[in-house]
Amino acid sequence: MTVITFAGPSGKRQEFVTEETTTAMTVARLNGVSGIEAECGGSLSCATCHVYVAESDVHKLPPASEDELEMLELVAAERRPTSRLCCQIVLGDNVDSLVLELPETQF
């Protein structure tokens, strides 16, 4: 089980619980999280599911792949050391909780 929190730029927080192995992008899309565009549907080809992983949670995730790092070069908002594409963040037994901050824009 994973508790995932999406924190919007305005401070609005949305919390969801998932009991299956899935991606953070899938949770966001299924629950209508505003600010996650995910135009490519999770195929790692658009960079419109950009998020910032909370500093306290970075250690819970494996490092970004080379392909993800390349796509992060294309994000519209400020790229930070904690920037990730949520289509590449896999939730499951390995992650009990996660806070993802949404950037101001995806375009």
User: What is the tens place of the pLDDT at every residue in 62-101?
Assistant: 999 999 999 999 999 999 999 999 999 999 888 999 999 9
Give the number of domains in the chain: 1
Q: Residue 51's beta-bridge partner residues?
A: 84
User: What is the tens place of the pLDDT at every residue in 39-54?
Assistant: 999 999 999 999 999 9
- Band (pLDDT 50/70/90 cuts) for residue 2 is very high
Q: Report the CATH number that the domain containing residue 72 is assigned in CATH.
A: 3.10.20.30
Confirm whether 107 is domain-assigned.
Answer: no
Confirm whether 106 is domain-assigned.
Answer: no
Tell me the two tokens of residue 20. 């299956």
Could you give the CA distance from residue 80 to residue 74 in angstroms, rounded to a whole number?
13
